[in-house]
């Protein structure tokens, strides 16, 4: 069975225009923004989408509502896509995934996104706040597609034992600013 990364590389070579060409700014022309041309497809990664209550999904929803024209094709990869999501976000394509690198990579490849926007808070993707599979999937997607990765850090604080249960030396603590 062909790997997902090999399949993506093969599909990218079949495109008439390489990803880098789509990002050249055209000063003053249509689609000109601070980051260059408007991407064809954007995929936001969130733990859950509305109508389930989740701050990251809600934030991505607000971005979708207020995104300027011309608007790219909008995709959302989420661990949980509840019933009613399509009604809350009409015209958005949802890509559910499981909390592992292969599943997320498959969702990102399915979206065919030029830009992936990760809405990050560690405990949203792993009960202890250490989703080790997440950077593996993103690195594989980026190396295979050459797309852009944008990260929204919603929380940077973690508490508890990051890697080794029972090891009291390695505890991450949130500290108030000095």
Q: Give the integer Cα–Cα distance in Å for 49 and 26.
A: 34
Q: What is the pLDDT of residue 172?
A: 43
Give the pairing of strands 41-48 and 93-96: unpaired
Predicted pLDDT of residue 61: 84
Give the pLDDT of residue 77. Answer: 95
Domain definitions of the chain by residue range: 36-153
Query: What pTM did the predictor assign?
Result: 0.70
Sign of CA dihedral 4, 39, 20, 11: positive
**Class assignment of domain 36-153?**
alpha beta
* 84 backbone φψ class: left, alpha, beta (φ>0; ψ -120 to 50): left
Residues with pLDDT less than 50, the chain: 1, 16-33, 166-178
Length of the chain: 178
Classified as helix, coil or strand, 29 is coil
Please give the pLDDT value at position 27: 44
pLDDT of residue 136: 94
Q: What is the pLDDT of residue 158?
A: 57
CA distance 50 to 58: 6
β-sheet bridge partners, residue 95: 77
Return the axis-axis angle of helices 133-145 and 101-111, rounded to nearest 10°: 30
| pLDDT single digits (tens) 29-71 | 444 445 556 788 999 999 988 888 778 888 888 888 888 877 8
DSSP designation for 98: -
């Amino acid at each position: 069975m062909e790997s997902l990364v090999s399949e993506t590389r093969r599909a990218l070579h079949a495109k008439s225009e390489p990803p880098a060409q789509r990002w050249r700014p055209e000063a003053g022309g249509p689609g000109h923004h601070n980051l260059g041309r408007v991407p064809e497809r954007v995929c936001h990664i969130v733990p859950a989408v509305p109508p389930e209550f989740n701050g990251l999904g809600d934030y991505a929803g607000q971005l979708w509502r207020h995104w300027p024209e011309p608007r790219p094709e909008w995709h959302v990869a989420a661990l949980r896509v509840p019933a009613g999501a399509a009604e809350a976000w009409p015209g958005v394509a949802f890509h559910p995934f499981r909390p592992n690198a292969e599943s997320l990579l498959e969702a990102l490849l399915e979206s065919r996104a030029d830009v992936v926007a990760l809405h990050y808070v560690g405990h949203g993707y792993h009960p202890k706040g250490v989703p080790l599979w997440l950077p593996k999937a993103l690195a594989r997607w980026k190396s295979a597609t050459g797309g852009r990765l944008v990260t929204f850090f919603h929380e940077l604080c973690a508490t508890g034992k990051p890697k080794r249960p029972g090891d009291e030396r390695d505890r991450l603590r949130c500290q108030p600013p000095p």
